[in-house]
Amino acid sequence: MVAFYVFGIIDLQDMFPLIMEALKQNKKCWICFFDCTKVKRQFYHYKSEELEQLFSEHDSVIVDLFRPDDKAEHEERFNSFRSEIETIFVQNLSPKKPLWYPTVADRNVVHLAFWDESKHLTESRIPRNNILFSVLKREEDRPYYKGLANIKHFGDLRLENLKYVPRNRRTTNSCFIPETYLRTSSMSKDQLKSETNFYNKLFDRLLDSGYKINWKKREKGYPKQKWASPLDFADSSKIENIVDKDLHLPSSIFSLSYNSNLCIVVNDSFVYYDLIKLNSNCVILTTANVRKYKMDEFFNDYKILDMTEESGWDRFQSYLEAENKKEVQTPTVAKEILKECL
C-alpha cells in the first residue's frame, strides 16, 4: 500500500501521477485528505462524498477525509493499515497552525518539496529519519536546499498530469486565467480600485475579441484572512466558467491550460511554470500591484507586459491574435520516483 497525505489541492496536483502509477503497479492507495488546521483549511468547503467521487472508478483506492476532531480516528485508521504501508507521500511537512498532525509512525516518507520553500523541510513535523528523500520540482531549486540531505530531482512530475488530459478539446476562442489573489491588507482603496478597473478592462478586451474566459480560483482555504479574490470586486458575470473547487482529475490547471488558446497570469504566480510547458501562447500581465522583487527573482526571463502603460495593452493584442501550438511529450517521472522508494 502507498499512502498520500493531502492538505490542499496543490498537493493533489503533484501526487496524482504518483497515484496513477502506483495503481498501474497494482498497489493499493490510501488517500488521506486533512482538514485539521486553524487557518488555510483548503478542504473546509469540500464534502467527503465529493472527494471520494474523484477516485470512485478505482477499487484499489481508499479515500478518507479527516476534520479537526478526527485525530483519534486517523490514528485508528492508520494502525489498521500500518503493516501494509510501504511509503507515505507528503508535501506539507509544516502546515500553518495545525490542530494536530497525522502520524507516520515508523513508515518511510517521501517529501514533495515546495519550489524554493526549504523551510518546510527544516521545520518538519515528521522526524527526519523517516524521510527517505525530498523531490524537487525543478533542478534550479536545488540551491535553496543547500546543506539538506537526500534532495533529488527526477524530472517534471507535474507535467506528467498531461498524460491524463484529453488532447482533442482545444478551442481557438478560450482563455484560461489561474487566479492570483489580492493581498488586501497592504492595498489602499485607490490601489484596490485600480486593480478592479484593470480586471474589468481585461475581461472586456477578451470578450470583445471573441474569447470565452475560464477562471481557476486560488484555493487559499478557510477562514478567509487578509486576502481576496479579484472576483470579489471585478465583474465576474463576464466569465463563462469559474472553477471554485477543483474537483477534476487531473487538475483543471492542466486540462484548461493545454486546451485553451491563451493563458494569462497576472503578476507573480508559480503556476506560470506549468502553463508555459502546456501552452505556447502564455503571457504575464503586471499591474500597479506587482511585487517587483518576486518578478526580478523568478519571472524576468519570461514574456511580461506592463499593463499600467497603454503600450502594454497595445502589445497584448498580438496574444489575442496568436494560437496555442504547443504539443507536449509527457515524461515518466512517477515511475522513477516509485522505483526509488518501493
201-to-30, 97, 190, 230 alpha-carbon distances in Å: 46, 38, 16, 13
**What is the pLDDT averaged over residues 232-247?**
94
C-alpha span between 195 and 310 (Å, rounded): 15
**Percent of the chain's residues with pLDDT above 90:** 89
**Residue 17, domain extent:** 2-153
Give the amino acid at 14.
D
Whether cis (ω within 30° of 0) applies to the bond prior to 223 is: yes
Residue 273 predicted with pLDDT over 90: yes
- Residues 148, 10 share a domain: yes
**What is the pLDDT averaged over residues 69-84?**
98
Asked, for residue 162, whether it belongs to a domain, the answer is no
- Residues 134, 233 share a domain: no
- Angle CA(48)–CA(270)–CA(331) in degrees, nearest 5? 80
Q: What is the pLDDT of residue 106?
A: 96
Q: What is the pLDDT of residue 225?
A: 83
Q: What is the pLDDT of residue 171?
A: 82
| pLDDT class of 185 with cuts at 50, 70, 90 | confident
- Residues 223, 99 share a domain: no
| pLDDT class of 117 with cuts at 50, 70, 90 | confident
- Give this prediction's pTM: 0.92
- Residues 178, 119 share a domain: no
Q: What is the pLDDT of residue 115?
A: 85
- Residues 131, 179 share a domain: no
Higher-confidence residue of 226 and 17: namely 17
C-alpha span between 125 and 135 (Å, rounded): 17
Out of 34-38, 123-127, 217-221, 307-311, pick the least confident. 217-221
Asked, for residue 313, whether it belongs to a domain, the answer is yes
**Percent of the chain's residues with pLDDT above 70:** 100
Please give the tally of structural domains in the chain. Answer: 2
Asked, for residue 167, whether it belongs to a domain, the answer is no
- Residues 14, 133 share a domain: yes
Asked, for residue 71, whether it belongs to a domain, the answer is yes
Residues 6+ apart with CB under 8 A from 170: 258, 259, 260, 261, 324
Q: How many C-beta neighbours within 10 Å does residue 226 have? A: 10
155: alpha, beta or left? (left if phi > 0; alpha if psi -120 to 50): left
Asked, for residue 333, whether it belongs to a domain, the answer is no
Question: What CATH number did the domain enclosing 260 receive?
Answer: 3.40.50
